[in-house]
Amino acid sequence: MKNRNILWVVCCVVMGITIILTFTPLVIPQGVRAPRWLGMPYTLWMGIVVSLWMGVLVFLGTLVHPGKSPQN
């Protein structure tokens, strides 16, 4: 049970870091007019990647949530 609590806290911390990094120049380049990657704007690609990453974190969070009852 203690491992679930630790994994839950790790998921929450990683989600918080992801949210903070979303608004940094890593995702939103500063001073560049139109960066492109594979013909699509870089910011769009990073938005897609961040959304997928957050979806994975939410899925993992549902598996390790401390309030979830163990299955028999």
Q: What is the pLDDT of residue 1?
A: 60
Could you tell me the pLDDT band of residue 70, with boundaries at 50, 70 and 90? low
Could you tell me the pLDDT band of residue 68, with boundaries at 50, 70 and 90? low
- Residues 6 or more apart whose CB falls under 8 angstroms from that of 28 comprise 43, 46
Helices 2-22 and 42-64: crossing angle in degrees, nearest 10, is 160
**Alpha carbon distances (Å) from 70 to 2, 57, 64, 66:** 13, 20, 10, 10
Amino acid type, 48? I
Q: Is 90 exceeded by the pLDDT of residue 14?
A: yes
pTM: 0.76
Query: Which of residues 34 and 10 earns the better pLDDT score?
Result: 10
Structural domain spans, the chain: 2-64
Query: Could you read off the pLDDT of 26-56 as tens digits, one per residue?
Result: 777 777 667 776 788 877 888 899 999 999 9
